[in-house]
Amino acid sequence: MIDAHHHLWKLSRADYGWIGDGRNPALAPIERDYLVEDYRSLAAENGISGSIVVQAAQTVAETRWLLDQARASNGLIKGVVGWIDMAAGDAPDLLRDLANEPLLRSIRPMLQEIADVEWILQPKIVPALHAVKELDLSFDLLVRPAYLKAALTFLTRNPDLRAIVDHGGKPDIANGMWQPWAQDMGHIARETPAYCKLSGLVTEARPNWKPGDLRRYAEHLIECFGADRLVWGSDWPVMLLNADYDGWLAAARQFIASQTSADQMAIMSDNAIRFYRLPVRTP
């Protein structure tokens, strides 16, 4: 299996912004370092053979640090989703420099942290976007439901961009949100070639959730994107706020149990390999 979405962080690096300063009591359960060796143990316990590590800070320094961690992982971390300021004038040159490291596989602006839900549509990011395509990198969309309409416009403008919506578009499951999330995700699936991550749902659910609380949302994503454009990820360690690794993995397996064995393998491994262009042979 490939875990297509997890994080690492070292709080003493002090560039995360959202974690590490002790100001948010809700984050206290995960306010410690999570490093390669921590993840290696989880991966071994859960049958994970490779992973994608994803940025958690809006700095290039963290992207370079993640690339260092990936190189030191002895092949466990097979790709890095990094960050650049896509609106900066030097963004294309910086991206080309970072892409000299083949472990860089994608770029992710933290759109959900930007107040302007249409930030992604501004002309200033076009040069960086061209560089993403030129370098055959992919693009991760970290969005909440309010951002999905702009995401659809962005994706229809860039049909040649290899893009993926992280965490199923983050529906507010705890408060029973369905529309407009369900409709907007359906539009993205039907009208664009984008992929979607089956990840992050537990963080949006109420405490003490059961698989039945998530099933409607997971099955909607499966129906919309199909087994060929859905990619499983853990979102560890963020998901530890409301779940454990094996609990979320077991729930995800329940949601895809009605799929053929080949389709289950696609969601849990092959699609991540294809989407991120990982140096792993697809069976």
Q: Which residue has the tokens 């979607």?
A: 196
Residue pLDDT, tens place only, 115-142: 999 999 999 999 999 999 999 999 999 9
Residue pLDDT, tens place only, 168-214: 999 999 999 999 999 999 999 999 999 999 999 999 999 999 999 99
Helices 181-191 and 148-157: crossing angle in degrees, nearest 10, is: 10
Tokens of 271: 């699609």
pLDDT at 282 over 70: no
Residue pLDDT, tens place only, 35-47: 999 999 999 999 9
**Tell me, what's the pLDDT at 22?**
86
Residue pLDDT, tens place only, 205-250: 999 999 999 999 999 999 999 999 999 999 999 999 999 999 999 9
Give the percent of the chain with pLDDT over 70. 99
pLDDT at 83 over 90: yes
**Tell me, what's the pLDDT at 281?**
59
CATH topology (fold) of 2-275: TIM Barrel (3.20.20)
Mean pLDDT of 27-31: 95
